[in-house]
């Protein structure tokens, strides 16, 4: 018997949002017509999961409201592709830590229904992350901005669906050029997410990896005056090349409006400059014993020594108990193969022109191991 040619449209991670959040954050006017089937299907799935969210509210609302944080969060800052994921995975090996999982990032309001939603998610998610060779699992640590975007319409990650609007999202949801009510709503949503993460995992301190937070130091200190911060940085030329490859492969799987490859390059150049300048302007507001800056190249070469330095700098406890877990993880990831990169001369000059301040700030030169081509790459 011949197989049917019918195929469901792909589902967006937006399906993890409530219908109310979806209506607030998604503009059909901005969506390109070819993505309408995907948006319709995603909206249907969001509505289908509404009872799950109601059950979550009834079961956990009081517990979340009364829950008190024992220890301030630890925030991992740094631009995408600077080593934030590796650092996050490492620090989350400590048994006392809590983290937002990949499952929670998609279904942050459905923790009470994991028993049937996790198998569903496992069946539809890829084994590897688009853009690099990192393994994916529903239980692995994930960026909390994904979860936050499914809890509130006030998330910078809306740019992944409507990338042409990224400047507006940056001003509103990173720099918070918004009303005091919106600012307060965002803070409440973030605090609730953190509490749920701790309740779900049973950990003592939540470790949050979120590149967007690199430009949010003011509001994070306002919420958590005793918060701990680790900022990781890497050679900007390699950050550009890795980010270009990553977002060129990731955005087509998420976007709901047309966005060309050259526009992705403009976005990367612009956002890196914004984030790094904002960070350099505001980092002095963090007390010295609450901030540890980490050079990726040192971390990659001597990861255990750098982890020990983080624990000492930030006065974190449980290091001795966690050391065997760190050592085991480093042993498992030792053979990980990174992507190889090449760049055109024109691209390189453009990066150096825009990001010269960062090259000088952290004392970097153009890497010797990248291929520089004269002609534009196809």
Residue for token pair 């900007």 = 236
CB 296 within 8 A of CB 83: yes
Dihedral sign for Cα 176, 182, 187, 189, please. Answer: negative
pLDDT tens, 108-117? 777 767 666 7
Percentage of the chain beyond pLDDT 90 is 58
Give the C-alpha separation, 324 to 300, whole Å. 18
Whole-prediction pTM: 0.89
User: Which structure tokens are listed for 217?
Assistant: 């130091």
pLDDT tens, 168-226? 999 999 999 999 999 999 999 999 999 999 988 888 999 999 999 999 999 999 999 99
From first CA to last CA, the distance across the chain in angstroms is: 43
What is the SS3 string spanning the chain?
CCCCCCCCCCCCHHHHCCHHHHHHHCCCCCCCHHHHHHHHHHHHHHHHCHHHHHHHHHHHHHHHHHCCCCCCCEEEECCCCCCHHHHHHHHCCCCCEECCEHHHHHCCCCHHHHHHHHHHHHHHCCCECCCCCCECCCCCECCHHHHHHCCCCCCHHHHHCCHHHHHHHHHHHCCCCCCHHHHHHHHHHHHHHHHHHHHHHCCCEEEEECHHHHHCHHHHHHHCCCCEEEEEECCHHHHHHHHHHHHHHHHHHHCCCCCCHHHHHHHHHHHHHHHHHHHHHHHHHCCHHHEEEEEHHHHHHCHHHHHHHHHHHCCCCCHHHHHHHHHHHHHHHCCCCCCCCEEEHHHHHHHHHHHHHHHHHCCCCCCCCCEEECCCCC
Give the C-alpha separation, 221 to 233, whole Å. 21
Give me the pLDDT at residue 209, please: 97
User: Which structure tokens are listed for 196?
Assistant: 């749920």
Checking if the pLDDT of 281 tops 80, the result is yes
Query: Which domains are present in the chain?
Result: 69-335 (3.40.50.300)
> What does pLDDT average to over the chain?
88
Give me the pLDDT at residue 244, please: 94
CA distances in angstroms from 201 to 68, 204, 371, listed in the order given: 15, 9, 44
CB 46 within 8 A of CB 179: no
Among 25-29, 96-100, 223-227, 343-347, the minimum mean pLDDT is found in 25-29
Give me the pLDDT at residue 59, please: 74
Write phi, then psi, for 97 (nearest 5 degrees).
Answer: -85, 150
Residue 254, number of CB atoms within 10 A of its CB: 18
Q: Could you give the angle at the alpha carbon of 197 between the alpha carbons of 212 and 67, nearest 5°?
A: 115
Closest CA to 351 of 233, 283, 266: 266
Residue 191, number of CB atoms within 10 A of its CB: 16
Give the C-alpha separation, 45 to 11, whole Å. 8
């Amino acid at each position: 018997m011949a197989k049917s040619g019918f195929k469901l449209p792909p589902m967006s991670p937006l399906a993890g949002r409530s219908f109310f959040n979806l209506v607030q954050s998604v503009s059909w006017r901005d969506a390109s017509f070819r993505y309408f089937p995907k948006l319709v299907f995603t909206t249907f799935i969001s509505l289908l999961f509404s009872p799950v969210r109601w059950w979550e509210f009834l079961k956990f609302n009081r517990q979340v409201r009364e829950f008190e944080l024992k220890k301030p969060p630890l925030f991992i800052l740094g631009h995408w592709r600077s080593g934030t994921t590796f650092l996050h995975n490492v620090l989350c090996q400590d048994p006392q830590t809590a983290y937002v999982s990949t499952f929670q990032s998609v279904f942050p309001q459905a923790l009470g229904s994991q028993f049937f939603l996790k198998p569903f998610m496992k069946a539809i998610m890829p084994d590897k992350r688009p853009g690099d060779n990192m393994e994916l699992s529903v239980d692995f640590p994930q960026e909390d901005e994904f979860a936050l975007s499914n809890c509130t319409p006030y998330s910078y990650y809306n740019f992944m669906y409507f990338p042409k609007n990224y400047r507006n999202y940056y001003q509103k949801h990173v720099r918070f050029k918004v009303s005091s009510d919106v600012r307060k709503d965002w803070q409440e949503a973030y605090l609730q997410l953190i509490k749920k993460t701790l309740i779900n995992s049973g950990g003592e301190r939540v470790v949050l990896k979120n590149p967007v937070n690199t430009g949010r130091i003011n509001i994070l200190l306002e919420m958590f005056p005793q918060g701990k911060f680790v900022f990781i940085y890497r050679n900007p030329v390699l950050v550009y090349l890795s980010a270009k490859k990553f977002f060129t492969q990731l955005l087509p799987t998420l976007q709901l409006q047309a966005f060309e490859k050259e526009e992705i390059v403009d976005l990367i150049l612009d956002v890196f400059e914004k984030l790094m300048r904002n960070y350099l302007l505001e980092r002095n507001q963090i007390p010295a014993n609450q901030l540890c800056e980490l050079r990726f190249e040192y971390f990659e070469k001597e990861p255990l020594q750098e982890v020990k330095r983080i624990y000492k700098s930030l006065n974190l406890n449980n290091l001795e108990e966690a050391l065997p877990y760190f050592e085991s993880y480093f042993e498992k990831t030792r053979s990980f193969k990174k992507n190889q990169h090449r760049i055109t001369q024109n691209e390189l000059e453009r990066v150096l022109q825009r990001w010269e301040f960062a090259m000088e700030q952290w004392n970097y030169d153009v890497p010797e191991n990248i291929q520089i081509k004269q002609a534009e790459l196809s």
